[in-house]
Amino acid sequence: MLVIRLKRIGKKHQPSYRIVVSEKHKDTRGDYLEKLGFYNPRAKPRIVQLNEERIKYWLSQGAQVSDTVYNLLVDAHIVPGPKRKAVHLKKKVKKEEKGEETGEKEVSTENKEVKEEEKTSSEKIEESEKQEKEQSKEGGEKENNSEKQKDE
């Protein structure tokens, strides 16, 4: 599968890009089939040079376009349509003092209920047997305590 994408060139901390056609699974720093243009985002205004004929040719041959290159092509009116979201950032979770704490407690109780539902019947039987043993131990301790009080 062919892809039209950016290949980084330039010095350290001074990026500029070539717009190239390459195989999708090849390294972006490696070999490419054809150079289609140039993009310098640091210049004011941005410098974008595109070979429109060759870009249309490669698109007709089934080449896919990366999100950033697609947005450059939309700006140059080579490809019609809205821009794509090129950078997908994760949202930072803000913790509110009281609101989040209660929310976390509710979630944790729901998780416990779900975990209990997922338990098999044998696990439930084992749990009930453990609880009965604990109750009988507690009951035995109470009887021993009451006998000691009577002796005194």
> What is the pLDDT confidence band of residue 116, given thresholds at 50, 70 and 90?
low
Q: What is the Cα–Cα distance from 98 to 120, expressed in whole angstroms?
A: 36
pTM of the predicted model as reported, rounded to 2 decimal places: 0.57
CATH class as words, domain 2-75: alpha beta
Pairwise CA distance, residues 128 & 78, whole Å = 70
DSSP string, 89-123: PPPPPPPPTTHHHHHHHHHHHHHHHHHHHHS-HHH
Question: The tokens of 100 are what?
Answer: 């989040």
Q: Which tens digits make up the pLDDT trace of 35-72?
A: 999 999 999 999 999 999 999 999 999 999 999 999 99
For the chain, the domains span: 2-75
Which of 6-10, 27-31, 93-97, 111-115 is predicted with the least confidence, judged by mean pLDDT? 111-115
127-138 pLDDT, tens per residue?
A: 777 777 777 766
